[in-house]
């Protein structure tokens, strides 16, 4: 892929999908900005062939987001790729969910994606006439929650589904707005994937066409296409990487 020496911001880079995305980007020679609430030591140890910048803080905080983008510009001078990946998932049903639970998922999954998208496009990607924005949504944002085999935690909660549905809508809106600037905006929608969000929850993958849990590498592989120059005629798309659970 033609990505060498580009600069990518990846949120949620300390583990899971974000970690794998950062590692795969580094293998292509991309300089990566690792954003997380936790330190990214395990990710840094696996980076290959590129420089990095670690930014630790709360992605729901507008000032932190602006500072992260500014630090990126100061170190690398440009931003070509943004991967909005960081997320939280409350599994309480609507009867028992509190506003704290609701706000956590909406702010982490949707508000943060908006903040980073806005800060990267204006003015940097717009002025450069190029950009690749990839939002990690979920099939929960399409079908209202991935059902597992766990009676207690049967599916992701309403805040998670609503936030990921919002990410999909934001993806489409942004794509229509920024295509004229040479910027694309796409989304990858994972199904049940082995990350900290799904830890301890039993999924009956026998109901899928591909009978296994997804791995972070499965999602990262899809992200890599959307983040590359080769995807220049593709925008506003939502690619379901879900083992076929959404068929039919």
- Active site amino acids: 160
CB count in 10 Å sphere of residue 60: 20
Q: CA nearest 76: which of 58, 56, 50?
A: 50
Q: Bridge partners of 238? A: 187
Q: What does DSSP assign to residue 240? A: E
Taking CA atoms, 82 is separated from 14, 47, 108, 145, in Å, by 16, 17, 16, 26
Three-state secondary-structure class, residue 232 = coil
Residue 133 phi, psi dihedral angles, 5° rounding? -110, 125
Three-state secondary-structure class, residue 166 = helix
Locate tokens 């592989």: which residue? 221
Q: CA nearest 240: which of 112, 155, 109, 141?
A: 141
Q: Are 188 and 134 in contact (CB under 8 A)?
A: yes
Element spanning 143, H or E:
helix 140-143
Q: Are 44 and 225 in contact (CB under 8 A)?
A: no
Q: Are 10 and 33 in contact (CB under 8 A)?
A: yes
Q: What is the CA radius of gyration of the chain?
A: 17
């Amino acid at each position: 892929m033609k990505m060498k020496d580009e600069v990518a911001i990846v949120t949620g880079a300390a583990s899971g999908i974000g970690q794998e995305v950062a590692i795969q980007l580094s293998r292509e020679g991309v300089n990566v900005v690792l954003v997380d609430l936790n330190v990214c030591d395990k990710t840094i140890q696996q980076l290959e062939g590129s420089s990095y910048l670690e930014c630790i803080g709360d992605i729901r905080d507008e000032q932190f987001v602006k500072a992260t983008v500014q630090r990126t510009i100061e170190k690398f001078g440009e931003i070509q790729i943004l991967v909005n990946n960081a997320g939280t998932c409350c599994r309480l049903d609507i009867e028992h969910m509190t506003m704290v639970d609701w706000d956590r998922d909406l702010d982490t999954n949707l508000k943060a994606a908006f903040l980073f998208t806005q800060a990267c496009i204006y003015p940097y990607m717009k002025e450069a006439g190029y950009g690749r924005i990839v939002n990690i949504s979920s099939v929960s944002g399409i079908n209202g929650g991935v059902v597992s085999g766990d009676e207690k935690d049967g599916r992701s909660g309403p805040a998670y589904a609503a936030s990921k549905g919002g990410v999909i809508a934001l993806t489409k809106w942004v794509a229509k707005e920024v295509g004229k600037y040479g910027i694309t905006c796409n989304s990858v929608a994972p199904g049940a994937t082995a990350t900290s969000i799904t830890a301890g929850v039993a999924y009956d993958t026998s109901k899928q066409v591909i009978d296994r849990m997804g791995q972070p590498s499965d999602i990262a592989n899809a992200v890599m296409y959307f983040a590359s120059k080769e995807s220049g005629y593709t925008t506003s798309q939502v690619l379901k990487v879900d083992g076929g659970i959404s068929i039919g």
